Structure 1
Amino acid sequence: MRAFSMLCLAATLAITPPANAASSPDYAAAMADPKRPAEAKALDESRKPAETLAFLGLKPGMKTADIMTGSGYWAEIMADAVGRKGKVTAYEPNQFYTQPEEQKTWQTLVARRPEVQWVRYPFEAFSAPANSFDFTIINMSYHDLYWQSDKFRIPRTDPAAFVKTLYAATRPGGIVGIVDHVGGAGDTRAIVDKLHRIDPAVVKADFAAAGFVLEAESPLLANPTDDHSKLVFDPSIRGKTDRFLFRFRKPKD
C-alpha cells in the first residue's frame, strides 16, 4: 500500500506545474515570434530580454508601458509575454519618425502589432491616466530627459515633472524598470549632451524624490571594460556599453 501511495504521489508531482509557472511569461516563445524582425532578434544577445524582464517582475495579465519605445523592441516582446489578458501601451515622442521613410517604418510597426496601443506624445510633455500601469520599462532613454536638441526639436525637459507623472500613472505596488548607459558624476545635462550617459545616482535620486522605492538593482547588463568617457554611439562600444538595471516600485500605501 505504501509503495502504491508513493507511486501516486510521484505521478501527481510529475504533472503538477511549479507554483509560479502560471505567472511566468513564456519568453522563449515571445522572442521566437515570427512577427519580430531579424534586426530586433539580433539585439537579444546584448539586451538579454528574458533575464531583464524576469528580474523586473513582468507577469502575464499586467497592464504595461514601454516609454520612448523607439523600434518597438520591448513592446513587441511584452505584448506576447503579458498575453491576451494583459495590455501594452507603447509611447513614442512626436519629434521622432517625422520624415517620410521614417513614417513608413513607424506605420509598418503599428500594423504589425495591432494588439499594442501606440501613443505619440510631445517629448517634453509626457502624460498618462492615473493608476494605468502595473509595469513600465524605459530602456536606454531616461537620460534623454536631460537632453536638449534644436536639430530634433527637443526643448529643455523637466525630468522631475516626468517622473512625477509616471508615479501617478503607476498603480500602487507597480514596477518601473530602468536600463541606461552608465555615466560619471558631474553636470548631468552636459554629460548627456556629450556622451548620452547618465550617473546612476541621478536616476536613483530622481525616482526617490517622486516617491518610488528602489527595490533591487542587477549587474546583468554591466560591462566593466566600458570606457565611461566614450560616446555610446562610438563604434568601439556601441551595443556593449556598461548599463545599470534598476527595479523601482510604487509603495502600496
Structure 2
Amino acid sequence: MKALTPFVVLSTLLFSAAPAVAATANEAAIQAAVNHPVRSAANKARDVHRHPVETLSFFEVTPKSTVVEVSPGGGWYTEILAPLLKAEGKYYAAHQPADSTSEYAKKSLAAYQAKLAADPVFSSVTVTGFAADKAYEIAPAGSADVVVTFRNLHNWYMQKGEESLLTAYKSFYAALKPGGVLGVVEHRLPEAKAAGDWTKSGYMPQSLAVKVALQAGFVLEGTSEVNANPKDTADHPEGVWTLPPVLALKEKDKAKYQAIGESDRMTLKFRKPKA
C-alpha cells in the first residue's frame, strides 16, 4: 500500500473537521440569538422545556439560512430567529392570512405585527399568510432552506383532519428548495392511545404526523428526543393545556402539573428530495 504524504493526511483531517467546526459555529450563533436582549424574561424561562439551540441545530438552521416559521403565534421563536437571521439570512413568518374574517385571526395578526414594529431587530421579518384550509404561498416557491413549525399540527388537524395536514405540508413542500428541511415539533400522543378519542386533546400520534408528510412528498430523515418529557402521560383533564404554560385548571393540582412540566414532544426532521 502506498504511504500517504503528510499533505494528504493533513488535507484529510482538515476536510473531516470542517463540518464539525461549522456545526459548532452555528450552535454558537444560535446561542447568541437565544441570549439576545430582545427576548422576554417569560420566554427565556421556557428554554429549559423548548431547547431552542438543540432544536434549531437539529433542523440545520444557520445564520445564512432562509427560514419560514409557520404559525409563529405570539412570536416565541421570532425573538430568536429574527436576530439570528437578520444580517445574512432571511426570515418569513407565515402568520394568519391578512384577509381572514376570523376575529381571533385578526387580533392575533395585529398583536404580532405590533410586536415586530416595537423593535428594530424585527425590521427584516417578512410576514406572509398561512391557514390549513387551502394552499398558501408562505414564501416564494423553492426559496426556503428550512421550514419550521412548533406545536401547531393539532390545530390544523381539528379543522379537516388529515386533509388539513396534507394541505399544510404541501404548502411547506412548495416553499422549500430541493434538499430543504422541514422541522416539526408537536405534542406527542403515545401510539397506544391512538385508538381512543384524542383529536381535541392537543396531542397527536407521531405515526400520523409522519404518514401525512410522506404523502406530501417528504422523506423522514431523522427524529430527536431533545423535546421529550417522559413524565407526561398525555391523559390530562383539559388535554395538553392542563400542563404549563397554560395550566388550564388554574390552582387545582397546580403543583402536580408544574412538576410534570411542559408536554412530551416529537421532534421530526423531513427533507424535500433533491431529485
Give TM-score, length-normalised by structure 1: 0.80
4+ runs deviating over 4 angstroms:
21-25, 154-157
Q: Name the amino acid aligned to 2:240.
A: V
Partner of 2:4: none
Q: Residues of 1 paired with 2:52 and 2:76: CA distance?
A: 10
Cα gap change, 1:250 to 1:64, in 2 (>3 Å): same
TM-fit CA distance, 1:36: 1.7
Partner of 2:88: 85
Partner of 2:74: 71
Q: Are residues 1:42 and 2:45 paired?
A: yes
Q: Residues of 1 paired with 2:211 and 2:218: CA distance?
A: 10
Cα gap change, 1:103 to 1:145, in 2 (>3 Å): closer
TM-fit CA distance, 1:59: 1.4
Q: Residues of 1 paired with 2:211 and 2:27: CA distance?
A: 31
Give TM-score, length-normalised by structure 2: 0.74
Partner SS state of residue 189, structure 2:
coil
Which residues of structure 1 form unaligned runs of 5+?
1-12, 149-153
Same amino acid, percent of matched pairs:
28
Partner SS state of residue 241, structure 2:
coil
Which residues of structure 2 form unaligned runs of 5+?
1-13, 248-256
Q: Residues of 2 paired with 1:252 and 1:226: CA distance?
A: 37
Q: Residues of 2 paired with 1:155 and 1:142: CA distance?
A: 10
Partner SS state of residue 92, structure 2:
strand
Q: Are residues 1:204 and 2:210 paired?
A: yes
Cα gap change, 1:199 to 1:224, in 2 (>3 Å): same
**RMSD value, Cα:** 2.8
Q: Residues of 1 paired with 2:212 and 2:162: CA distance?
A: 17
Partner SS state of residue 98, structure 1:
helix
**1:97 and 1:103 in contact (8 A); partners too:** yes
Partner of 2:272: 250
Partner of 1:3: none
**2:186 and 2:204 in contact (8 A); partners too:** yes
Q: Name the amino acid aligned to 2:53.
A: A
Q: Residues of 2 paired with 1:71 and 1:119: CA distance?
A: 15
Counterparts of 1:7-18 in structure 2 under 5 Å? none
TM-fit CA distance, 1:121: 3.8
